[in-house]
């Protein structure tokens, strides 16, 4: 076999790790960290290191598919027919209803060249600013924060600053899960310099707190009050940098008046922390030689997201902690190329090169460069507004690329109604399985990671090359090529006889045209090229023509890209989150990420191994709230908000505070009936227009769903997924997941108020292969109880329990261990399904803590019981020795099981 290695970049988070792809030109065989890449120096997290196990071909979109009417099925077509059809619908819609009747909704996961093509298409050719991206749900509050406080959308720091800082404040970021390789770098830095202080500000006690010297579990949404409270203390204790303030800032007088009222007692009470904690935090911030803050969605996804960002930056300006090693306000970027999106103008209010769509001079500059008469002056729609306009019928043709709004947008019932209502939905996707795919009139198969070529910018402004390793499967094409091909067809209608705006044949040509638009601007990339990155490695912008190296840190001279060169203090009062706890909805629902899943799971959800850590969507509640509702862990509840309902099992978790609940964001309607975002609200920040995905008012209602179903089927998981999900639609609770490693299986859990129709059960059995072959069966139709186990070559290959499912975990273990002993036969013939001698066993102990070395939680606990410490566990079990993502959790188990040791004097 012709094995080759291609150096590329991980397609998941904004850390932007370099990966070495091992492949044979057609298949990706393995991945490892690129030791030469300055973001990760060879490390990868549990997601990056399993990239080669994801992306099951049977889940991929391989051919264009078109349907010619709602309710019809899409059928395979060829690229010419597909794009000609799209062209004629777009041309007709624009002619009849004007350019603002169409819209583009794109993604922070596109490459820079893809973005550029989309921007030119929307703004220069179609003539609309209706081009927004999922970064609106992610980074737009940080964009506003940087721009109004510092003058430009530029994170000023480098990853090295994180390592050299004396005090790191992590706010609203679960970096241990969401940016694991950076967390690893921080861990190492702190172990080298234990005097380094780490403060974590998060309503939940996350794995990130493992590194914290101080954890402030503030009440959701109260960050602005906290930051003002810290500033209050800094000012009144004279721990500010007067010289810096004098020379490089403006606006402190007004802010000082505002924060006068944010007294320690008022702030402590409002935030739900102690005055001592607040004082400790302010003391560290005010006295440390270098102060760096890191933040992510806990600040941005808020109706006060812009205020939260600026209030945090205020602290850096007051202490002069910016532009120096180890210091600065450092926003973590979520998606791999959300930064590139911001640079190329991929939010409706922006234009390429950090320009503004509302600025007439900027529009004129861009129009002149593109050789068009003018750019549209009308305001473009932002994500939430855009889907509202789709629903109201104003947007009549919608082009979606590289995002799954029918999973990730808040208020899903409204979003699905919009998609249902839209006359023409185009979806450019790598996977045909997503929730949004169900609404697409035209599905265009996109090449995905490892199959396409272009540039991405990570959180520290570093541009890396995403290189193609293998050919795209089927007829999938790279995003830039799809967009350019469509644009070339559309310009024949909209600009007949004029020279093409889209004479691009390679991504390099797109980049070379784009980069000239950044010349002389804060982000100047004019010195960068694909070739340069290949020669000298990934570089941080600005990188002007003739530069020999990138720029590690901004604002070292105290000059900011504002009109008068001064940074701006922003004085905005604290405003509470939109939905406060009340009698009707007494809990605050927080949503966020898990360690091993990526967003809507189109990719990570194809690898059974990535379900080992967390296998299903479970609502975390404080033990006190469980007791109050008379619930046991594992019980199903109906979780209701003002917008929707989902049924989920509960778990007891004292990492959330009473009155709060946590649900992972990953489960859409495919994996969990209804999907998490049917609960969340569309309210958004007035400036950034970023929705408040982090806090919604919810309540728990008991449900009576006595009839249960559990099914497991080994083998081609994707083949069964859609069929079984559809068959299970009549049940109230439906949850799908994968399990196993070498021999993956699909798992289904469902519940219903009454027994399933026997004919439905027969269909499910047929799909599970339980209608023929060696099937052990027991039925008690009177009690609607049934058990079926299929055995092939002495191993369990399929299971179906109906009625009650007490034996599900026991059976799953038998399946995993490949056992079919006498116990199984005896259990099958017994009228109840309770497993022998077990009661209802829990799967929790089977949870895989260490994915790399496949070490379970129970093995780690047994090791701890034998007296092993972290080093011993690593040596004996191997856990935590590869990617290290599980180390915080192992440490937590060590602490939890620590026994008092007798001390002899």
Ligand X SMILES: Nc1nc2c(c(=O)[nH]1)N[C@H]1C(S)=C(S)[C@@H](COP(=O)(O)OP(=O)(O)OC[C@H]3O[C@@H](n4cnc5c(=O)[nH]c(N)nc54)[C@H](O)[C@@H]3O)O[C@H]1N2
Residues that bind ligand X (CB under 6 A): 13, 47, 107-109, 134, 137-138, 171-175, 177-178, 201-204, 206, 220-221, 223, 296-298, 301, 334-335, 401-404, 407-408, 428-431, 434, 446, 448, 479, 590-593, 595, 597-600, 602-603, 665, 676-677, 680, 693-694
- Closest by alpha carbon to 840, among 878, 876, 804, 864? 804
Q: Which is nearer to ligand X, 87 or 222 (CB)?
A: 222
How near is the Cβ of 668 to ligand X at its closest, in Å? 8
How near is the Cβ of 302 to ligand X at its closest, in Å? 6
Q: Which is nearer to ligand SF4, 179 or 228 (CB)?
A: 179
How near is the Cβ of 286 to ligand X at its closest, in Å? 20
Binding partner of 462, given Mo ion, ligand SF4, ligand X, none, CB within 5-8 angstroms per partner class: none
Q: Which residues pair with 661 in a beta bridge?
A: 589, 621
**736 contacts: CB under 8 Å, gap ≥ 6:** 670, 671, 672, 721, 724, 725, 746, 747, 748, 749
Q: Which residue is nearest to ligand SF4 (CB)?
A: 48
Q: Which is nearer to ligand X, 603 or 673 (CB)?
A: 603
Span interacting with Mo ion, options 132-140, 174-182, 248-256, 869-877, rule CB under 5 A:
132-140
Q: Which is nearer to ligand X, 174 or 820 (CB)?
A: 174
Give the rounded distance of the alpha carbon of 831 from its chain centre. 45
Binding partner of 204, given ligand X, ligand SF4, Mo ion, none, CB within 5-8 angstroms per partner class: ligand X
Q: Which residue is nearest to Mo ion (CB)?
A: 334
Give the rounded distance of the alpha carbon of 759 from its chain centre. 40
The b/e string for 788-823 (b: 16+ C-beta within 10 A; e otherwise) is bbbeeeeebbbbbbbbbbbbbbbbbbbbbeeebeee
Binding partner of 864, given ligand SF4, ligand X, Mo ion, none, CB within 5-8 angstroms per partner class: none
Provide the mask over 79-118, with x wherever binding to Mo ion is found by CB under 5 A and - wherever it is not.
Answer: ----------------------------------------
Q: Which is nearer to ligand SF4, 159 or 707 (CB)?
A: 159
Span interacting with Mo ion, options 131-139, 219-227, 371-379, 728-736, rule CB under 5 A:
131-139
How near is the Cβ of 694 to ligand X at its closest, in Å? 4
Q: Which is nearer to ligand SF4, 599 or 694 (CB)?
A: 599
Q: Which is nearer to ligand SF4, 284 or 598 (CB)?
A: 598
Task: Determine the Cα–Cα distance for residues 225 and 389; give it in Å rounded to an integer.
Answer: 35
Q: Which residues here bind ligand SF4, judged by CB under 6 A?
A: 10, 12-13, 15-17, 40, 44-45, 47-48, 179-181
Q: Which is nearer to ligand SF4, 15 or 799 (CB)?
A: 15
Tokens of 499: 């020279």
Binding partner of 429, given ligand X, Mo ion, ligand SF4, none, CB within 5-8 angstroms per partner class: ligand X
How near is the Cβ of 170 to ligand X at its closest, in Å? 9
Q: Which is nearer to ligand X, 436 or 820 (CB)?
A: 436
How near is the Cβ of 139 to Mo ion at its closest, in Å? 7
Tokens of 134: 């999922």
Span interacting with Mo ion, options 19-27, 130-138, 423-431, 482-490, rule CB under 5 A:
130-138
Is residue 592 within 8 A of residue 664, CB to CB? The reply is: yes
Q: Which is nearer to ligand X, 40 or 407 (CB)?
A: 407
How near is the Cβ of 270 to ligand X at its closest, in Å? 12
Binding partner of 181, given Mo ion, ligand SF4, ligand X, none, CB within 5-8 angstroms per partner class: ligand SF4
**518 contacts: CB under 8 Å, gap ≥ 6:** 343, 352, 353, 354, 524, 525, 526
How near is the Cβ of 526 to ligand X at its closest, in Å? 27
How near is the Cβ of 437 to ligand X at its closest, in Å? 8
Is residue 65 within 8 A of residue 433, CB to CB? The reply is: no
- What is the layout of strands, in order, in the sheet containing 454-457? 454-457, 462-466, 539-540
Task: Determine the Cα–Cα distance for residues 478 and 433; give it in Å rounded to an integer.
Answer: 19
**836 contacts: CB under 8 Å, gap ≥ 6:** 810, 823, 826, 827
How is 821-847 classified by DSSP, letter by letter? -HHHHHHHHSSS-PPTTTSS--SGGG-
- Closest by alpha carbon to 471, among 79, 24, 34, 77? 24
Q: Which is nearer to Mo ion, 231 or 332 (CB)?
A: 332
Q: Which is nearer to ligand SF4, 610 or 736 (CB)?
A: 610
End-to-end CA distance of the chain: 66
Distances from the Cα of 643 to the Cα of 235, 272, 412, 640, 732, angstroms? 43, 28, 9, 8, 17
Q: Which is nearer to ligand SF4, 17 or 747 (CB)?
A: 17
Binding partner of 15, given ligand X, ligand SF4, Mo ion, none, CB within 5-8 angstroms per partner class: ligand SF4
Q: Which is nearer to ligand X, 439 or 810 (CB)?
A: 439
Task: Determine the Cα–Cα distance for residues 619 and 696; give it in Å rounded to an integer.
Answer: 14
Task: Please report, for the chain, how many H helices and E strands are present, in that order.
Answer: 29, 36
How is 451-480 classified by DSSP, letter by letter? S--EEEE-TTSEEEEE---SPPSTT-B-HH
Task: Determine the Cα–Cα distance for residues 99 and 196; give it in Å rounded to an integer.
Answer: 55
How near is the Cβ of 448 to ligand X at its closest, in Å? 4
Q: Which is nearer to ligand SF4, 39 or 799 (CB)?
A: 39
Task: Determine the Cα–Cα distance for residues 536 and 848; give it in Å rounded to an integer.
Answer: 40
Binding partner of 525, given ligand X, ligand SF4, Mo ion, none, CB within 5-8 angstroms per partner class: none
How near is the Cβ of 37 to ligand SF4 at its closest, in Å? 10
Binding partner of 432, given Mo ion, ligand X, ligand SF4, none, CB within 5-8 angstroms per partner class: none
Q: Which residues pair with 748 in a beta bridge?
A: 711, 736
Q: Which is nearer to ligand SF4, 44 or 110 (CB)?
A: 44
How near is the Cβ of 591 to Mo ion at its closest, in Å? 12
Binding partner of 699, given Mo ion, ligand X, ligand SF4, none, CB within 5-8 angstroms per partner class: none
Question: Residues 138, 567, 801, 890: which binds Mo ion (CB under 5 A)?
Answer: 138
Task: Determine the Cα–Cα distance for residues 739 and 749; give it in Å rounded to an integer.
Answer: 13
How near is the Cβ of 336 to ligand SF4 at its closest, in Å? 7
Q: For residue 334, state whether it binds Mo ion (rule: CB under 5 A).
A: yes
Binding partner of 125, given ligand SF4, ligand X, Mo ion, none, CB within 5-8 angstroms per partner class: none
Distances from the Cα of 607 to the Cα of 115, 128, 134, 430, angstroms? 29, 40, 24, 16
- Closest by alpha carbon to 688, among 153, 159, 243? 153
Q: For residue 175, state whether it binds Mo ion (rule: CB under 5 A).
A: no
Task: Determine the Cα–Cα distance for residues 804 and 834; give it in Å rounded to an integer.
Answer: 9
Task: Determine the Cα–Cα distance for residues 10 and 469; give it in Å rounded to an integer.
Answer: 13
How near is the Cβ of 177 to ligand X at its closest, in Å? 5
Q: Which is nearer to ligand X, 87 or 208 (CB)?
A: 208
Is residue 467 within 8 A of residue 103, CB to CB? The reply is: no
Q: Which residues pair with 448 in a beta bridge?
A: none
Can you list the positions of beta strands (E) in 342-418?
Answer: 350-351, 355-356, 397-401
Binding partner of 664, given Mo ion, ligand X, ligand SF4, none, CB within 5-8 angstroms per partner class: none
- Closest by alpha carbon to 446, among 478, 423, 419? 478
Asked, as a colleague might, if the bond just before 742 is cis with ω within 30 of 0, I would say: no
How near is the Cβ of 14 to Mo ion at its closest, in Å? 8
Binding partner of 592, given Mo ion, ligand X, ligand SF4, none, CB within 5-8 angstroms per partner class: ligand X
How near is the Cβ of 296 to Mo ion at its closest, in Å? 8
Tokens of 47: 């997601």
Is residue 650 within 8 A of residue 635, CB to CB? The reply is: yes
Where along the sequence are the contacts to Mo ion (CB under 5 A)? 138, 334
């Amino acid at each position: 076999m012709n094995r080759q290695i291609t150096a590329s970049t991980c397609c998941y988070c904004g850390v932007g790790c370099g990966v070495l792809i091992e492949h044979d030109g057609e298949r990706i065989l393995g991945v490892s960290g690129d030791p030469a890449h300055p973001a990760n120096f060879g490390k990868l997290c549990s997601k990056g290191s399993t990239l080669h196990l994801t992306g099951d071909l049977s889940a991929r979109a391989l051919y264009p598919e078109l349907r010619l009417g709602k309710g019809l099925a899409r059928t395979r077509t060829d690229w010419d027919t597909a794009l000609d059809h799209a062209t004629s619908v777009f041309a007709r819609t624009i002619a009849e209803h004007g350019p603002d009747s169409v819209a583009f909704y794109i993604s922070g996961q596109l490459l820079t060249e893809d973005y550029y093509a989309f921007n030119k298409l929307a703004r220069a050719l179609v003539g609309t600013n209706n081009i927004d991206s999922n970064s609106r749900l992610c980074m737009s509050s940080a964009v506003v924060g940087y721009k109004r406080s510092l003058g430009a959308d530029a994170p000023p720091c480098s990853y090295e600053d994180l390592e050299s800082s004396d005090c790191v404040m992590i706010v609203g970021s679960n970096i241990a899960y969401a940016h694991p390789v950076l967390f690893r770098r921080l861990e190492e830095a702190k172990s080298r310099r234990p005097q380094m202080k780490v403060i974590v500000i998060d309503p939940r006690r996350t794995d990130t707190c493992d590194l914290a010297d101080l954890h402030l579990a503030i009440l959701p949404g109260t960050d602005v009050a906290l930051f003002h409270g810290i500033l209050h203390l800094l000012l009144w204790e004279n721990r500010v940098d007067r010289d810096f303030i004098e020379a490089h800032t403006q606006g402190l007088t007004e802010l000082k008046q505002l924060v006068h009222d944010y007294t320690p007692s008022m702030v402590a009470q409002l935030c739900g922390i102690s005055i001592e904690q607040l004082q400790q935090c302010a003391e560290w911030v005010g006295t440390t030689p270098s102060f760096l803050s890191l933040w992510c969605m806990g600040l941005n996804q808020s109706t006060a997201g812009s205020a939260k960002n600026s209030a945090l930056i205020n602290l850096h300006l007051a202490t002069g902690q910016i532009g120096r090693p180890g210091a600065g306000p450092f926003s973590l970027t979520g998606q791999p190329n959300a930064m590139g999106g911001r640079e190329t103008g991929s939010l409706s209010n922006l234009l390429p090169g950090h320009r503004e769509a509302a600025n007439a001079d900027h529009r004129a500059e861009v129009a002149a460069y593109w050789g068009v008469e003018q750019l549209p002056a009308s305001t473009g729609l932002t994500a939430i507004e855009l889907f509202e306009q789709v629903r109201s019928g104003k947007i009549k043709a919608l082009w979606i690329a590289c995002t799954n709004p029918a999973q990730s947008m808040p208020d899903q019932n409204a979003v699905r109604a919009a998609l249902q209502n839209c006359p023409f939905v185009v979806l450019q996707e790598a996977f045909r399985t997503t929730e949004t795919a169900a609404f697409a009139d035209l599905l265009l198969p996109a090449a995905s990671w490892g199959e396409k070529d272009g540039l991405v910018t990570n959180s520290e402004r570093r541009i890396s090359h995403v290189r193609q390793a293998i050919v795209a499967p089927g007829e999938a094409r790279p995003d830039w090529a799809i967009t350019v091909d469509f644009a070339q067809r559309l310009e024949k209608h909209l600009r007949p006889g004029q020279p093409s705006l889209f004479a691009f044949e390679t991504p390099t040509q797109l980049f070379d045209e784009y980069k000239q638009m950044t010349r002389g601007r804060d982000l100047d990339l004019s010195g960068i090229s694909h070739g340069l990155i290949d020669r000298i490695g990934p570089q941080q912008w600005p990188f002007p023509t003739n530069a020999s190296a990138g720029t590690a840190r901004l604002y070292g001279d105290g000059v900011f890209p504002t009109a008068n060169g001064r940074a701006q203090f922003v004085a905005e009062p604290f405003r509470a989150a939109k939905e406060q706890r009340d009698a009707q909805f007494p809990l605050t629902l927080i949503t966020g990420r898990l360690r091993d899943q990526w967003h809507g799971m189109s990719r990570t959800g194809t690898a059974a191994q990535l379900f080992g850590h967390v296998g299903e969507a479970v609502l975390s509640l404080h033990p006190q709230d469980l007791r109050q509702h008379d619930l046991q862990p594992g019980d199903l509840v109906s979780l209701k908000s003002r917008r929707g309902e989902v049924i989920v099992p509960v778990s007891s978790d004292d990492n959330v505070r009473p009155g709060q609940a946590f649900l992972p964001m990953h489960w859409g309607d495919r994996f969990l009936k209804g999907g998490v975002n049917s609960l969340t609200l569309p309210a958004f920040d007035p400036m950034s227009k970023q929705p408040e995905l982090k806090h919604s008012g919810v309540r728990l209602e008991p449900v009576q769903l006595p009839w249960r179903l559990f099914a497991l089927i080994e083998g081609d998981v994707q083949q069964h997924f859609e069929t079984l999900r559809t068959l299970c639609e009549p049940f109230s609770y439906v949850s799908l997941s994968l399990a196993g490693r070498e021999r993956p299986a699909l798992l289904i859990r469902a519940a219903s108020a009454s027994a399933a129709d026997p004919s439905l059960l027969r269909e499910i059995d047929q799909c599970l292969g339980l209608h023929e072959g060696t099937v052990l069966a027991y039925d008690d139709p009177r009690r609607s109880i049934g058990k079926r186990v299929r055995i092939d070559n002495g191993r369990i290959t399929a299971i179906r329990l109906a009625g009650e499912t007490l034996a599900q975990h026991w059976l799953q273990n038998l399946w995993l261990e490949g056992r079919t002993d006498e116990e199984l036969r005896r259990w099958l013939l017994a009228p109840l399904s309770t497993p022998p001698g077990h009661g209802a066993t829990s799967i929790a102990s089977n949870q895989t803590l260490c994915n790399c070395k496949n070490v379970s939680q129970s093995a780690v606990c047994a090791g701890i019981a034998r007296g092993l410490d972290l080093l011993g566990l690593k040596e004996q079990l191997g856990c935590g020795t590869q990617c290290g993502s599980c180390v915080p959790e192992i440490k937590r188990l060590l602490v939890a099981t620590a026994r008092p040791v007798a001390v002899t004097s």
